[in-house]
């Protein structure tokens, strides 16, 4: 039914010209039936994200049947199983079995029985759901094909055009658009709230399904009546539900607190940052560096090693000295000394990029640190250097360099 009938209809298109009014009817009925699925089958009955008056329920059930996607009971049962068992073998439209399986094969091929029980007891007590399920095939035939045929036929005498375009082909496109939520919105797009499951935000799917494409948000906050929460995200279903609220047809619209939404978004940002951070070279961790004495540091420089002490850490600048923007001679003046003050503003206050490059050149930690501030705290004056050079420490040398 999903393939054969639409295929026959497509083959007749060259011989059945489309009337302009029939085209308008097809578009309007496309929007009406798909919103009845997204606002009714999905957000009202599957997730109970808002409550609806009996009038709205009957309208959504009737035009939802016109989408020809099964009864509310069938649709909700499969969808709740999808949310409970996402990306597992118990997921009816598991995208891990392939994009085509998630899109349509799960419907048209016989699937093995799955132990994927879900609770649909709330539907058993809804008379609208019960009656629609009981008379679904009659409702689907009339609302899917009969109703648009009558409108086009009685309205402008385009009986067969109404049946072909506003009926069969329109329902085909409604189905394909809805199936994109199960396939494309689990395959391509952004994951701003969580990436542990396959759900994604996909703009094209959002446009053709009246807002259902913001699927990553939906899987994180399924009971929120919205899918697109930003003002610039097209979610016509959300706006339709809000309009129904203004008309007194819908109430108790559920929204997750912005605080929780913000936390999920921020956690995902941090997660992505950490993944990217781990791919970069930040230099050897300080905890893994060997400890070097001042005399050893000084001796290595005397032997020709290009070492500079900055912030208590010894750096081997042999691979960078020729690239130093300030010139090689400037760096050679700091070899074997404590250049902490020089690096941090006495000569030039280096950039964040310079600090990052410096971190990749670490080779050892100097015992005692040799930072200028340590010496200042322990000695109130540098006179000790002049009075008794033999008592001067590595901290003292840093003061001499900066003076």
The whole-model pTM stands at 0.79
Q: How far apart are CA 266 and CA 189, in angstroms?
A: 18
Q: How far apart are CA 67 and CA 171, in angstroms?
A: 6
Listed residue (47, 72, 64) closest to 126, CA to CA: 72
Q: Are residues 262 and 352 in the same domain?
A: no
Q: Are residues 75 and 215 in the same domain?
A: yes
278 is a domain residue: no
Mean pLDDT of the chain: 88
Given 210, 245, 271, the domain boundary residue is: 271
Q: Are residues 59 and 89 in the same domain?
A: yes
Number of residues in the chain:
403
Q: How far apart are CA 403 and CA 389, in angstroms?
A: 16
User: What are the beta bridge partners of residue 307?
Assistant: 316
Q: Are residues 266 and 291 in the same domain?
A: no
Residue of 396 and 332 predicted with greater confidence: 332
Least confident range of 79-83, 260-264, 327-331: 327-331
β-pairing, 313-316 vs 307-310, is: antiparallel
Tally the domains of the chain. 2
Residue 292: in which H helix or E strand, if any?
Answer: strand 291-292
316 is a domain residue: yes
Query: pLDDT value at position 23?
Result: 96
Q: Are residues 109 and 239 in the same domain?
A: yes
Residue of 153 and 13 predicted with greater confidence: 153
326: pLDDT confidence band, cut at 50, 70 and 90?
A: confident
Residue of 229 and 342 predicted with greater confidence: 229
Given a contact cutoff of 8 angstroms between Cβ atoms, the answer to whether 199 and 191 are in contact is yes
Q: Are residues 209 and 165 in the same domain?
A: yes
Query: pLDDT value at position 340?
Result: 87
281 is a domain residue: no
400: pLDDT confidence band, cut at 50, 70 and 90?
A: very low
Look-up: residue for tokens 């385009």?
158
Given a contact cutoff of 8 angstroms between Cβ atoms, the answer to whether 351 and 403 are in contact is no
Q: Are residues 172 and 253 in the same domain?
A: yes
Given 271, 297, 329, the domain boundary residue is: 271
3-state secondary structure of 218: helix
Q: Are residues 313 and 258 in the same domain?
A: no
Report H helices in 221-257: 236-246
Q: How far apart are CA 230 and CA 189, in angstroms?
A: 17
Q: Are residues 237 and 292 in the same domain?
A: no
CATH number of the domain that 378 lies in?
3.10.120.10
> Is residue 198's pLDDT more than 60?
yes
Q: Are residues 245 and 311 in the same domain?
A: no
Least confident range of 54-58, 204-208, 299-303, 375-379: 375-379
Tokens of 176: 């394909």
Listed residue (193, 244, 214) closest to 54, CA to CA: 244
Query: pLDDT value at position 325?
Result: 82
Q: Are residues 293 and 267 in the same domain?
A: no
Given a contact cutoff of 8 angstroms between Cβ atoms, the answer to whether 64 and 40 are in contact is yes
Q: How far apart are CA 68 and CA 9, in angstroms?
A: 16
279 is a domain residue: no
394: pLDDT confidence band, cut at 50, 70 and 90?
A: very low
Report H helices in 225-308: 236-246, 258-278, 294-302
- The whole domain housing 109 covers 4-271
Q: Is 253 left (phi over 0), alpha (psi -120 to 50) or beta?
A: beta
280 is a domain residue: no
> Is residue 320's pLDDT more than 50?
yes
Tokens of 373: 């501030």
Given 271, 298, 326, the domain boundary residue is: 271
165 is a domain residue: yes
164 is a domain residue: yes
347: pLDDT confidence band, cut at 50, 70 and 90?
A: low
- H helix count then E strand count, the chain: 23, 6
Please tell me what DSSP assigns to residue 196: S
Given a contact cutoff of 8 angstroms between Cβ atoms, the answer to whether 223 and 254 are in contact is yes
3-state secondary structure of 362: strand
- Tens digit of each residue's pLDDT (9 = 90 or more) over 287-318: 899 999 888 998 999 999 999 998 889 999 99
Query: pLDDT value at position 395?
Result: 46
Q: How far apart are CA 314 and CA 361, in angstroms?
A: 8
> Is residue 388's pLDDT more than 50?
no
130 is a domain residue: yes
Q: Are residues 237 and 370 in the same domain?
A: no
User: What are the beta bridge partners of residue 257?
Assistant: none
Listed residue (51, 99, 106) closest to 74, CA to CA: 106
Query: pLDDT value at position 66?
Result: 96
């Amino acid at each position: 039914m999903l393939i054969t009938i639409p295929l026959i209809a497509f083959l007749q298109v060259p011989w059945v010209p489309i009337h302009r009014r029939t085209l308008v009817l097809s578009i309007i009925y496309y929007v009406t039936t798909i919103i009845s699925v997204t606002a009714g089958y999905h957000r009202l009955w599957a997730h109970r994200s808002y409550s609806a008056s009996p009038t709205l329920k009957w309208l959504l059930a009737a035009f939802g049947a016109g989408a020809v996607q099964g009864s509310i009971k069938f649709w909700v049962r499969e969808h709740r199983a999808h949310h409970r068992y996402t990306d597992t073998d118990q997921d009816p439209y598991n995208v891990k079995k392939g994009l085509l399986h998630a899109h349509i094969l799960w419907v048209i091929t016989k699937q093995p029985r799955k132990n994927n029980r879900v609770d649909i007891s709330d539907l058993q007590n809804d008379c609208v759901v019960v009656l629609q399920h009981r008379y679904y095939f009659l409702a689907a035939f009339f609302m899917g094909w009969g109703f648009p045929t009558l409108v086009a036929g009685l309205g402008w005498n385009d009986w067969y055009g109404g049946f072909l375009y506003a009926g069969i082909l329109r329902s085909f496109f409604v189905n394909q658009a809805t199936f994109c939520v199960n396939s494309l919105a689990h395959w391509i797009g952004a994951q701003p709230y969580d990436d542990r499951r396959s759900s994604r935000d996909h703009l094209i799917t959002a446009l053709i399904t009246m807002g259902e494409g913001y699927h990553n948000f939906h899987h994180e906050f399924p009971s929120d009546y919205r899918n697109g929460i930003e003002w610039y995200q097209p979610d016509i279903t959300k706006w339709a539900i809000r309009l129904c609220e203004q008309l007194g047809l819908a109430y108790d619209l559920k929204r997750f607190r912005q605080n929780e939404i913000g936390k999920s978004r921020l956690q995902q940002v941090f997660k992505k940052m950490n993944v990217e951070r781990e791919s970069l070279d930040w230099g050897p961790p300080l905890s893994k560096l060997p400890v070097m004495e001042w005399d050893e540091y000084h001796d290595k420089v005397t032997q020709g090693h290009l070492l500079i002490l900055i912030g208590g850490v010894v750096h081997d600048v042999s691979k960078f000295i020729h690239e130093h923007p300030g010139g090689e001679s400037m760096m050679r003046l700091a070899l074997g000394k404590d250049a902490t003050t020089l690096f941090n503003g006495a000569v030039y206050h280096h950039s964040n990029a310079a600090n990052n490059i410096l971190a990749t050149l670490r080779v050892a930690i100097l015992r005692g640190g040799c930072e200028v501030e340590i010496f200042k705290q322990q000695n109130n004056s540098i006179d000790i250097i002049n009075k008794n050079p033999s008592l001067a420490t590595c901290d003292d040398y840093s003061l001499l360099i900066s003076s």
